[in-house]
Amino acid sequence: MTIKLGDKVPNGVLYEYISVATEECPLGPNAFIVEELVKGKTIALFAVPGAFTPTCSEQHLPGFIEAAEDFKAKGVDEIWCVAVNDAFVMGAWGREYKADGRVRMMADGSGLWTKALGLELDLTERGLGVRSRRYSALLVDGVVKQLNLEETAGYSVSDAQTLLKQLA
């Protein structure tokens, strides 16, 4: 079953590569409980089929990085990029595109959270395995308030500007 407007996102674990160690987070991949991360926050989330892939790297991620201050000005606490990649790859992708401090690069390495959302995309025949569908969403205290799901392989409704307009 696919998640829809008004649903609470399922709990799960996402991983983030931490480049600078703190008391709370050691250097390297750290596990975060989704239920704890979303509590009391407004989160702009976008998901992509894979890190370093053409549309994801040339349009999707850069659009959210460039709009990060606009999202903050509209009350968004955090922006997440979620992909079915490991935390090392997501960390490297974030460093390459200078996402640090603007977009949290959240890894769903085994795709368990993506499957719980009902948003998996099977690209096994193309040699890519099971990935995430491309979408953007607005979560308020863990509840889906907006969901922009790409119905085809294109990139037309899940961009940063569409989600920003929906915040107005």
56 is known as an active-site residue: yes
Sheet holding 28-33, edge to edge: 28-33, 13-18, 104-107, 78-83, 42-48, 135-140, 143-149
The alpha helices in the chain, defined as continuous H runs, are 34-38, 54-55, 61-66, 68-73, 87-96, 112-117, 160-166
End-to-end CA distance of the chain: 29
For 14, the 3-state DSSP assignment is strand
Q: How far is 104 from 96, CA to CA, in rounded Å?
A: 13
Instruction: List Cα–Cα distances, 139 to 4, 20, 57, 65, 147, in angstroms.
Output: 11, 27, 23, 18, 9
Catalytic residue among 34, 44, 51, 56: 56
Residue for token pair 């549309």:
55
Which residues are marked as active site? 56
